[in-house]
Amino acid sequence: MKSPVVEVCNVQKVYGKKGGNQFKALNDVSFSMQEGEFVGIMGPSGSGKTTLLNVISTLDQVTSGEIKIDNVDITDMGQDELSDFRSQKLGFIFQDFNLLENMTIAENIALPLYLQGTPAKNVDAKVMTVAKRLGIEELLQKYPAEISGGQKQRSAAARALVHEPTVILGDEPTGALDSKNATSLLETMKDLNDRQNVSIMMVTHDAYSASYCQRIIFIQDGKLHKEIHRSSTRELFYKEILDVLAQLGTKNA
Amino acid sequence: MLLKLSLAGMKGKLKDYFVLLSGLVMTISVFYMFQTLSWNTEFIKSNAMIRNIQLVFIVGSVLLSVVTIMYMLYTNTFLLSLRQKEFGMYMMLGAKKKSIKKIMFVETMVIGAASLVIGITVGIGLAFIVGYLLAGQLNITLEGYQSFYLPAVLATFVFFIVVFLFTALINHIKLSRVQVLQLIYSDVHPDEMPIQKKKNSWLILLGLITLCLGYVSLIFMEQLREIGLFAAPTFTTLGTYLLFIGYLPVIVRRIQANKRWTTKGVTSFTFAQLNFRIQGLTKILATVAMLIALGAGAISAGLAFKNSASQMAEMMNVYDVVIKNPNAEEKAILKSVHFTEENQYRFKEDADYTYYLRDDLDNQRPLLLLSDGKKPKFKRVTEALPKGKISLREVKNPEVGQQLSDEWARALWNLQTNYREIKQTIVLDAETYHKIQGQEMLMYIGKSDKFMDYLHEWQEIDMLVLEKEPNLTADDLTSKYSFYNMYSSFTSGTMFMGLFLGIAFLAMMASCLMFKIVSGASKDTSRYQMLRKIGVRRSQLSTSVYKELFIIFLFPAIIGLTHVLIGMNMFSFIILNPYYRIWVPIIIFLIIYSLYYVITVKLYKQIVLPKE
């Protein structure tokens, strides 16, 4: 029996002051994610998918409800605890890579380890292992400005993985990549998920990227709209996703 | 219409404009403060102890102008960067480049004019306040010093109008070359590469050589004279810039390469960030080092002149007071002073001679001053006094006279209270002494533990002496205090200039460094945000900022203070010991500098670590 790594319970997120012009970005959202799952979150612009990712990644706080990651409730933690939690349990991949341009790739990847106080002698080995896994061991001594977008995103993925987090959160990780690089990154993520049992949650609006997931949660207007599981090939799943998106579109219209 | 739009755009960036304007105002007011002294030749000539003071001011003016121009060019780039995106948008909507250029020109000139008016006003205010406070503190009257000085206003005006026109022209050219798209995407930067320059060995070598030349001319200023006065600032400045440009990035890279220090927590980022930024900071840091050297140097020189008065006094007299027949009033004052040594000698006098009692001298041997020209040293008189019965007739005979040893001759000479009645002194045995007709009197001498602590008492005693002997004037007195008083009135003008300029330079230095760091901060914001996202505590980021800026602040302080320590040599021909209590100005400087550091960190943190 797999245990849930992320549990979202009746989460609400309201922007704006009480009595003023309020906007419910998330309205009573609940779902859970098991260890080793590859979950996609989809929805049209303004549906609340980024807000959902932000509250799960502890960058934003919920108005009400509960979020547990690795059985720890993150909704009543202080800022410092949250920082530590992020640095230990979560790995991030952002759309615009967010590598530090003033550090080499190796230093970028090693950063989460340094933050946890890993002894310097262990760091190099760990960086090398994860770099090999992502096929970027040749780039370690380069600076972000010297490598391509696809390579940058792989480096960012390596940084997200190096400290073996409970879950990796991706915010449109393929958004800034061309199709070839995007496919390559998605294959890698899938591979990590299949073989290393890494739990991944990814926000995307691109059906092709989403088709690599095992399960997709659709949200619209801050509410869970639908959930679909992949049962057969990726191609069929892709069509299924497009159907749901079409549905969402017509409902909107 | 476009003008209206652009004004609205300016409103949105009020905070940045405030930073810009305050930087400009500071520069202008400091420039003006300097000019008030520099153009007031009558004042500086009559108040300075340095013969070539005019030359000092010319060299100072040149240095300040160079620093100012560099600073203005930098602020101008900042001004343009504030507006680029907006201008791009106007052009995309169809505004002509010509009108954009016009707006930019008008804006540069309006900001220039505004900062000029405010700057000169602030400058006049500062010059008045600083002048007033210093004069009050130092207890001096400043004759001829004017905080509002028309030639200085004009000079400042002309200089800055030219500089503003020049910068406006640069903006004009920059805008002519640039494409619309470049403007629109001006705030989207591709990832920058940390510049990995090869070791500039020749640059470092050249820097070292020029700096050594500069130091040599500072140390041998007395021999080199006018040549030294030009060579010292030229070579020192050049060497400082070359070393900062060539060597500083190397040092930072070395530190970063040390894995033991830089792999703990967020320090790896701190040093990467430092390494990344240092290349762009070298010139401004060199400028800051020079301003520190000038500012702290001027303050040290001012204080050294002040201190030199008491030192000079210590070199003149061993005993703080020498009183003939102290009366009740004088005794009362003497009681309030803590003396380490008090001697009283009985003596009698007639029209030509002063007769001292040998036993008193023998029992209370006085101290003598042994001077090596730098520090006062004391020696007690050890030589013998004339022995046995002394024949009055013999010692009064000009052919024979009394043969006193050198030490005793000097010791007795020191028992004078004024220059008017110098009589020949004779030491007599008790028997002969008592036979002398006339009233017996007392010569009192006293040495306190601290001459400077009792200035008020010494002054009163001198005044009482003048009351007792109405035929004497203050100039006739040989007291230690009268000498101190005379010397410090010479030095106060020089001291005033030193402190005044020192404060001005330090203000300019702070403004330079703060402006550079704060104006570049917005570019760093994204990096700090990213670190925050991946789980770096706010307190860790804050520590990182403190560390990074500390190192940035550290280098110019070290170099600047080294310049001061070596540069003080150049005053050794006019001040006894220019290094006397040098730690006082250094501590004053360090306190001011730390304050700037803390303020800069706070401002920087406000920008890169917004409140949550």
Give DSSP secondary structure letters for B500-512: HHHHHHHHHHHHH
The model's pLDDT over B69-86, given as tens digits with 9 standing for 90+, comes to 877 787 777 777 777 878
Compare CB distances from B263 to A83, A92, A114 and report the shortest one's residue.
A114
- Distance CA(B320)–CA(B479), nearest Å, equals 7
Confidence of residue B143 (pLDDT cuts 50, 70, 90): confident
Q: Which two tokens stand for residue B237?
A: 């400045």
- The yes-or-no verdict on residue B212 having pLDDT over 90 is yes
- Identify the DSSP state of B477: B
Arithmetic mean of pLDDT over chain B? 83
A171 touches chain B (CB under 8 A): no
Amino acid occupying residue A232: S
Q: Which two tokens stand for residue A227?
A: 């959930």
Nearest Cα to Cα of residue A199 among A211, A213, A210: A213
Residues of chain A in contact with residue B272, where contact means CB-CB under 8 angstroms, are 100, 102-103, 107
Q: Look at B52 and B587; give whichever has higher pLDDT.
A: B587
Here the ipTM equals 0.84
CA atoms within 13 A on the CB side of B50: 25
- Distance CA(B371)–CA(B305), nearest Å, equals 20
Give the pLDDT of residue B584.
Answer: 85
Domains contained in chain A, CATH given: 38-45+81-252 (3.40.50.300)
Nearest Cα to Cα of residue B234 among B254, B249, B214, B255: B214
Q: Look at B460 and B53; give whichever has higher pLDDT.
A: B460
Give the pLDDT of residue A39.
Answer: 93
How many Cβ atoms from other residues are within 10 Å of residue A38's Cβ?
A: 22
Confidence of residue B104 (pLDDT cuts 50, 70, 90): confident
- Distance CA(B596)–CA(B13), nearest Å, equals 24
Chosen for mutation from A55, A81, A83 (greatest number of chain B CBs closer than 10 Å) is A83
Confidence of residue B116 (pLDDT cuts 50, 70, 90): very high
User: Which long-range contacts link A44-51 to residues 24+ away (Cβ below 8 Å)?
Assistant: A44/A205, A44/A220, A44/A248, A44/A249, A44/A252, A45/A205, A47/A219, A47/A220, A47/A221, A47/A222, A48/A13, A48/A219, A48/A221, A48/A222, A49/A203, A49/A205, A49/A219, A50/A171, A50/A203, A51/A13, A51/A25, A51/A26, A51/A222
Residue showing tokens 């007739």: B393
Cβ atoms of A48 and A219 closer than 8 Å: yes
- B546 CA: distance to closest CA in chain A (Å): 18
Cβ separation A143–B194 shorter than 8 A: yes
Q: Look at B46 and B125; give whichever has higher pLDDT.
A: B125
Amino acid occupying residue B473: T
Cα angle for residues B280, B282, B285 (degrees, 5° grid): 120
Nearest Cα to Cα of residue B477 among B323, B251, B337: B323
Cβ atoms of B6 and B65 closer than 8 Å: no
- The yes-or-no verdict on residue B150 having pLDDT over 60 is yes
CA atoms within 13 A on the CB side of A107: 25
Give the pLDDT of residue B174.
Answer: 83
Confidence of residue B211 (pLDDT cuts 50, 70, 90): very high
Question: How many residue pairs from chains A and B have C-beta atoms closer than 8 A?
Answer: 93
Report residue B504 CA to chain centroid gap. Answer: 10
Q: Backbone phi, then psi, for A231, in 5-degree steps? A: -115, -25
Cβ atoms of B421 and B292 closer than 8 Å: no
- The yes-or-no verdict on residue B568 having pLDDT over 90 is no
Nearest Cα to Cα of residue A161 among A189, A141, A139: A189
Give the pLDDT of residue A253.
Answer: 44
Chosen for mutation from A56, A84, A86, A103 (greatest number of chain B CBs closer than 10 Å) is A103
Cα angle for residues A114, A117, A122 (degrees, 5° grid): 75
Which DSSP string corresponds to B109-143?
HHHHHHHHHHHHHHHHHHHHHHHHHHHHHHT---T
Report residue B536 CA to chain centroid gap. Answer: 42
Give the pLDDT of residue A222.
Answer: 87
- Distance CA(B322)–CA(B445), nearest Å, equals 4
Q: Which run of H or E residues covers position B544?
A: helix B538-567
Report residue A66 CA to chain centroid gap. Answer: 19
**In B498-612, at which residue ranges do the beta strands (DSSP E only) sit?**
none
Nearest CA in chain A to B536: A83
Confidence of residue B375 (pLDDT cuts 50, 70, 90): confident
**In B27-108, at which residue ranges do the beta strands (DSSP E only) sit?**
none
How many Cβ atoms from other residues are within 10 Å of residue B195's Cβ?
A: 11
Give the pLDDT of residue A251.
Answer: 61
Q: How far apart are the first and last CA of chain B?
A: 39
Encode burial over B313-330: b for 16+ CB neighbours within 10 A, e otherwise: bbbbbbbbbbbbebeeeb
Cβ atoms of B537 and B601 closer than 8 Å: no
Nearest Cα to Cα of residue A90 among A65, A70, A61: A70
- Distance CA(B276)–CA(A99), nearest Å, equals 14
A101 touches chain B (CB under 8 A): yes
Q: Which two tokens stand for residue B177?
A: 């070359």
Cβ separation B264–A84 shorter than 8 A: no
How far, in Å, are B72, B168, B304, B457, B459 from residue B75 at the CA level? 5, 12, 36, 55, 53
- Distance CA(B218)–CA(B416), nearest Å, equals 41
Residues of chain B in contact with residue A99, where contact means CB-CB under 8 angstroms, are 191
Cβ separation B268–A59 shorter than 8 A: no
The stretch B56-79 carries a mean pLDDT of 78
Compare CB distances from B272 to A85, A92, A102 and report the shortest one's residue.
A102
Top-confidence range, B126-140, B178-192, B425-439? B425-439
pLDDT (tens digit, 0 to 9) for every residue of chain A, 253 residues total?
467 889 999 998 888 877 777 888 888 899 999 999 999 999 888 888 888 988 998 888 888 999 999 888 988 888 888 888 888 889 988 888 888 888 889 988 988 888 888 887 888 899 998 898 888 889 999 888 888 888 998 899 899 888 888 899 998 888 888 888 889 889 888 888 888 888 999 999 889 999 999 999 999 888 888 889 998 888 999 999 999 888 887 765 4
Residues of chain B in contact with residue A112, where contact means CB-CB under 8 angstroms, are 534-535
Chosen for mutation from B262, B268, B273 (greatest number of chain A CBs closer than 10 Å) is B268
Amino acid occupying residue B196: Q
Q: Which two tokens stand for residue B217?
A: 């001319």
Give the pLDDT of residue A87.
Answer: 86
A163 touches chain B (CB under 8 A): no
Nearest Cα to Cα of residue B50 among B231, B224, B229: B229
Which DSSP string corresponds to B289-328?
HHHHHHHHHHHHHHHHHHHHHHHHHHHH-SSSEEEES--H
- The yes-or-no verdict on residue B406 having pLDDT over 60 is yes
Give the pLDDT of residue A1.
Answer: 46
- The yes-or-no verdict on residue B557 having pLDDT over 70 is yes
Cβ atoms of B305 and B495 closer than 8 Å: yes
The model's pLDDT over B2-42, given as tens digits with 9 standing for 90+, comes to 677 777 777 777 777 887 888 888 888 888 988 888 888 77
Compare CB distances from A112 to B193, B534, B612 and report the shortest one's residue.
B534
Q: Which two tokens stand for residue A175?
A: 């958004």
Nearest Cα to Cα of residue B60 among B232, B186, B189, B219: B232
Q: Give the 3-state secondary structure of residue B470.
A: coil
Cβ separation A145–B267 shorter than 8 A: no
Which residue(s) pair with B427 in the sheet? B356
- The yes-or-no verdict on residue B190 having pLDDT over 60 is no
Give the pLDDT of residue B553.
Answer: 92
- Distance CA(A106)–CA(B559), nearest Å, equals 34
- Distance CA(A146)–CA(A101), nearest Å, equals 10
Q: Look at B135 and A73; give whichever has higher pLDDT.
A: A73
